[in-house]
Amino acid sequence: MISQRDDLAEKIYAISVLQQNFVIEQLKTLHLNGLQSRSLSFIAEHSGTMQRDLANYLGKQQATVTNILKVLEERELIYREIPKNNERQKNIYLTTEGEEMVKKVQAIFQELGKHIESAFSPEEQQQFTQFLKRAEEQLT
C-alpha cells in the first residue's frame, strides 16, 4: 500500500501510481520507456507527423524528442522522410516493426483495463465511470 490515508484524492493518486508502475514494468519487457511508447502511439495516429508536433504532444523540448526519435530509428521502429515540397522538415512514419510494437503497447493498456474492470460488475463500472467523469469535471 502506498499510503494509509483514507481520503478520496489520496486513493486516486495511489491507484494512478500503481497503474503507472504496471505500465512501466510491462514496457520494460518491450525495451521501451514511457516517452518512447507515447511517441510510437502518436506517430501511429498521425502518420507523417513532424517532430514539432510530437514535441508539443509530449510537452518536451525539440532536443529531447530528437534523442527519442534517434533511438526509435536505430531500433528500426520509425523512419524519417524529407518531403519534396519542403526540404527543411522531416515527416515521421512507423516501419512494419513499429506498427507491430504499437500493437504490443496497446495490448498492455488493454490488459490493464481488463484487470481493473474485472474487479467490478458492469453496473459498478458504469457508476464508477460516472463518478470519475464528475471528479474530472470538478477539476477542470
Using the predicted structure, report yes or no on whether residue 85 has a pLDDT greater than 90: no
Mean pLDDT of 8-36: 95
Q: Tell whether the model's pLDDT for residue 3 goes beyond 80.
A: no
pLDDT recorded at residue 2: 55
84 or 18: which leads in pLDDT: 18
pLDDT above 70 (res 4) = no
Q: What does the pLDDT look like over 39-82, one tens digit per residue?
A: 999 999 999 999 999 999 999 999 999 999 999 999 999 999 99
Residue 24 has pLDDT above 70, yes or no: yes
Mean of the per-residue pLDDT values of the chain? 94
Taking 80 as the threshold, does the pLDDT of residue 105 lie above it? yes
In the predicted structure, residue 1 carries a pLDDT above the cut 60:
no
- SS3 track for the chain: CCCCCCCHHHHHHHHHHHHHHHHHHHHHHCCCCHHHHHHHHHHHHCCCEEHHHHHHHHCCCHHHHHHHHHHHHHCCCEEEECCCCCCCCCEEEECHHHHHHHHHHHHHHHHHHHHHHCCCCHHHHHHHHHHHHHHHHHHC
Q: Which residues contact 56 (CB under 8 A, 6 or more apart)?
A: none
Q: What is the reported pLDDT for 58?
A: 97
Whole-number Å distance between alpha carbons of 135 and 21: 23
**Is the distance from CB of 78 to CB of 59 less than 8 angstroms?**
no
Mean pLDDT throughout 84-96? Answer: 90
Look up the pTM and report it. 0.81
Sheet holding 49-50, edge to edge: 49-50, 91-94, 78-81
Q: Does domain 8-139 have CATH number 1.10.10.10?
A: yes
